[in-house]
Amino acid sequence: MRWVLERMNRMVVRRALGLLGPDRASALQSLGALSLAVVAAVVAGATLASADETIEELPGLILLVPASLAARGNVFGAFGSRLGTAIHTGTFHWSRRVDTVLGQNVVASVVLGVSLSFFLAVVAAVAVTVLGLSEALGLSDLIVISVVGGTLASVAVLLVSLALTAVAPRAGWDLDNVIAPIVTAAGDLLTIPFLLLATVLVQRGQATLVAAMALTVLSAVGLLWSIRSGLTLLSNIVRESMPMLIVAGILSLLAGVILESRSSEVLGVGAVLIILPGYLGASGALGGILSSRLSTKLVLGLFSPARFPPPAARADATAILGLAVPVFVLNGFMAHLTAALTGASTPGLARMILAALIGGVLATLVVVLVAYYATLAAVRLGVDPDNVAIPLVTATLDVFGVLTLLLALNVTGVV
| Residue type present at position 354 | L
pLDDT value at 387 more than 60: yes
pLDDT, tens digit, for every residue of 81-134?
787 777 777 777 888 888 888 888 899 989 998 998 998 888 888 887 877 766
Confidence of residue 72 (pLDDT cuts 50, 70, 90): confident
**Span 334-372, pLDDT tens digits:** 888 888 888 878 888 898 899 889 988 888 888 888 888
- Give 374's pLDDT tier (boundaries 50, 70, 90): confident
Contact 299, 89 (CB under 8 A): yes
CA distance 117 to 219: 9
Instruction: Specify the pLDDT at position 12.
Output: 38
Task: Flag the least confident range among 45-59, 65-79, 81-95, 348-362.
Answer: 45-59
pLDDT at 32 over 80: no
Question: Using CA atoms, how far apart are residues 69 and 77, in angstroms rounded to an integer?
Answer: 12
66 part of a folded domain: yes
Task: Provide the pLDDT for residue 9.
Answer: 44
Q: Residue 206 has what pLDDT?
A: 83
pLDDT, position 22: 47
Measured N-to-C along each axis, helices 175-198 and 61-89 cross at an angle, to the nearest 10 degrees, of 150
> Can you count the helices (H) and strands (E) in the chain?
14, 0
Residue 15 lies in a domain: no
Predicted confidence (pLDDT) per residue in 1-17, tens digit: 444 444 444 443 444 44
pLDDT at 333 over 80: yes
Classify residue 11: in a domain, yes or no.
Answer: no
Query: Which is higher by pLDDT, 346 or 37?
Result: 346
Decide if 27 is inside a domain. Answer: yes
Is residue 126 included in any domain, yes or no? Answer: yes
The tally of domains found in the chain comes to 1
Distance CA(322)–CA(226), nearest Å, equals: 40
Whether 221 has a pLDDT exceeding 90, the answer reads yes
Lowest-pLDDT choice from 99-103, 221-225, 245-249: 245-249
- pLDDT above 80 for 62: no
Question: Which pLDDT score, from 0 to 100, does residue 19 have?
Answer: 40
Residue ranges making up the domain that contains 195: 23-411
pTM metric for this prediction: 0.68
Q: What is the pLDDT of residues 284-320, one digit of tens each?
A: 778 777 877 787 777 777 777 777 888 878 888 888 8
What is the predicted pLDDT for the residue at 224?
Answer: 92
Residue 9 lies in a domain: no
Cα–Cα–Cα angle for 191, 365, 354, nearest 5°? 75
- Whether 369 maps to a domain, the answer reads yes
> Is the predicted pLDDT of residue 156 greater than 70, yes or no?
yes
Mean pLDDT along residues 323-332: 87
- Whole-angstrom CA distances from 184 to 35, 38, 79, 168, 343 are 11, 9, 12, 16, 26
CB 324 within 8 A of CB 351: no
The answer to whether residue 2 is domain-embedded is no
Contact 123, 66 (CB under 8 A): no
> Rounded to whole angstroms, how far apart are CA atoms 239 and 214?
24
Closest to 332 (Cα-Cα) out of 33, 42, 31: 42
For residue 300, give every residue at least 6 positions away whose Cβ sits within 8 Å of its Cβ, in sequence order, or none.
88, 89
Q: Are 159 and 369 in contact (CB under 8 A)?
A: no
d(CA 330, CA 336): 10
Quote the mean pLDDT of the chain.
78
- At 118 the pLDDT is 92
